[in-house]
Chain A
């Protein structure tokens, strides 16, 4: 694990950066007190690394590993994991099965490396029986996963970490700040100069790395969470058919006609993240879904 933490001070801001959750994580403080920024940054880093250690599916020493290797045996989980599972269960229901933390298994056959390696239906058919939250027995705090199934909280982990970092800073810092973990962010504002935070949405590049949109979209945000779902770099291309990395757990296939990217704003980063990823899962109906829910969004097709 990389423990490096970078502190940058400008004329009116301090920024700390550290790598975690496969992204660059940063917190920008509307203060010139670099000692304070550093100390708070270290707190955020420690909390983020804790969440990563706790919920990552790439480790063999945490609760997720224990669950995924229980072989059909019931596992009693801790409070934080239980809260996540409750949340996942609710979202599974709300999304009619589109949001499913057991769908990670599909990644074993779907590798979105820009190649044309689209798997055979037969391969997908062998995986599908191991997917579906309805097959899981979840009676807080006990989780029983049928042998062979896996859960992956990666779909909400980063947004969750952003909100946790936000709460942590908020409790000890009275001025404006911005938490940004690889494009998923939460802000507290407005800044001392009276302005909101300005966030540029990452421009989507096409297959030839040309900017599809000439101008970067700048979003003014004073309060709340912002998250983007997109497939700018993770896709497959076969026979001119673009396969987005958003997989429908019901079919085992990538969502058809999904937007290239959806950015949403919500009170929290978790909500923003869920809204944008569910919109992506809706495919062609993404924008309609967001309109219906009255969600502020920016979509690129």
Chain B
């Protein structure tokens, strides 16, 4: 106190003592200031599939008039293996993953030069999993992509996973919110994201209006997204031979228009509810350039008529348009003075034939001023897209006439994300508010999918007989977060 006495005038010391006495209220009239949220996500899929590490920072500046600007930067580094779409079979299968255009010829070479899986696959050695990597031009100026060609062999009965999955992505988003006259709030934003073979740019705007002393809020928003995909090795020609790798260009685009209208209603002192309807119209290139489908004859793999020494796989094909309608209903219930139950439900339907239901429950359990727990459970289920199939059947979906491959279907994909499955997530977040302005949190989540597809029948004893037709995913992730306000 002596120090204060000497360094500060009496009125300054009095002001300091008074603000301590009256608490933060007097100082934080308008919650003007900065808030920084930072987090790192460590994501791991079981069985050596994808793992990712994602640091993220969100910086928000709030002004006295309650307007705010928001900057978010997320970096995403992924490595691991991802299903390539081919069916698992009782024989070993060798694939050459996407590469620079030079790899087109290297493909066949790889098939013959990789020891251990030479020539035809008739004599599979169990558990063979040879990976040969050829690196092409490391020149960063090269705009054809990563320039890697990887040949890998999948052991019998294993799910074909492309082990060369590696990407990093950076997303920068900016947002601005400002309250206007007559209880209107306007929100404008934009986002840019780039990764090796994909860039995305989006702009969005939303208007909200409060009614009934802010008990009711109606909002409407529009988001326009422009994506460009530049696959390594060019854009494959849909439903043509994977080994031939015909391309239809270097890149393609996709545009998405999202509209959303929402209603937020304070029901009573303890209950707030939100209801959103959103419509998403996406047009352009939707096919995944790295996903293929097995073509089977009575359940047996067949030789690619264009590429002797290779089984026949075709690049997948998806429609050029997709319309999605989502209904989202969220409720937050205050229980006692500090606990909160968050219950939400989402229904989604699209014109690809996918319908999904999502139920999510989180309980905020405030155990003390400096500790809370948030147990979390989520259930998700979706039906398959109309064109989803674990593999294509010779005769029904594809015909081969004098060496020419003709697809009888317009669209086909075996991407598990378009199949029928349900998924459960269980998680727990632990929050440690360190002070009024700082908080540390740690959350762990575990995710498990269950196959819900109708099994496609195959002949007994064939390559696909008794094999899995869906790669169920299980994953775990941990997120460490730290927030500070000043």
Contact = CB atoms under 8 A, between A and B. Distances in A.
| Direct A–B contact present (CB less than 8 angstroms) | yes
A93 B18 contact: no
A83 B24 CA distance: 13
A210 interface: no
A170 interface: yes
Nearest to B11: A293
A90 B15 CA distance: 11
Contacts of B23: 83, 167
B336 interface: no
B5 A93 contact: yes
A87 B18 contact: yes
Contacts, number: 64
A87 B11 contact: no
Interface string B1-34: 1101100011101110110111101100100000
Given A167-B26, A170-B29, A171-B25, A94 B18 contact: no
Nearest to B1: A93
B5 A271 contact: no
B25 A91 contact: no
Nearest to B9: A293
A155 B166 CA distance: 70
Given A93-B1, A94-B5, A160 B15 contact: no
Given A167-B26, A268-B26, A275 B14 contact: yes
Interface in A113-150: none
Contacts of A167: 22-23, 25-26
Given A267-B15, A275-B14, A87 B26 contact: no
A164 interface: yes
B21 A87 contact: yes
A160 B2 CA distance: 24
Contacts of A47: none
Contacts of A87: 17-18, 20-21
A271 B15 contact: yes
A247 interface: no
A74 interface: no
Nearest to A171: B25
A91 B17 CA distance: 8
Most buried by A among B18, B23, B26: B18
Contacts of A83: 20-21, 23
Given A266-B15, A267-B15, A274-B14, 10 more contacts: A87-B21, A91-B17, A93-B1, A163-B26, A167-B22, A270-B18, A271-B15, A274-B18, A293-B10, A295-B11
30 contacts: A83-B21, A83-B23, A84-B21, A86-B20, A86-B21, A87-B17, A87-B21, A89-B1, A90-B4, A91-B17, A93-B5, A94-B13, A160-B21, A160-B22, A163-B26, A164-B22, A167-B23, A167-B25, A170-B25, A170-B29, A171-B25, A267-B15, A267-B18, A267-B26, A268-B18, A270-B22, A271-B18, A274-B14, A293-B10, A295-B11
Interface of B: 1-2, 4-5, 9-11, 13-15, 17-18, 20-23, 25-26, 29
Interface of A: 83-84, 86-87, 89-91, 93-94, 160, 163-164, 167, 170-171, 266-268, 270-271, 274-275, 293-295
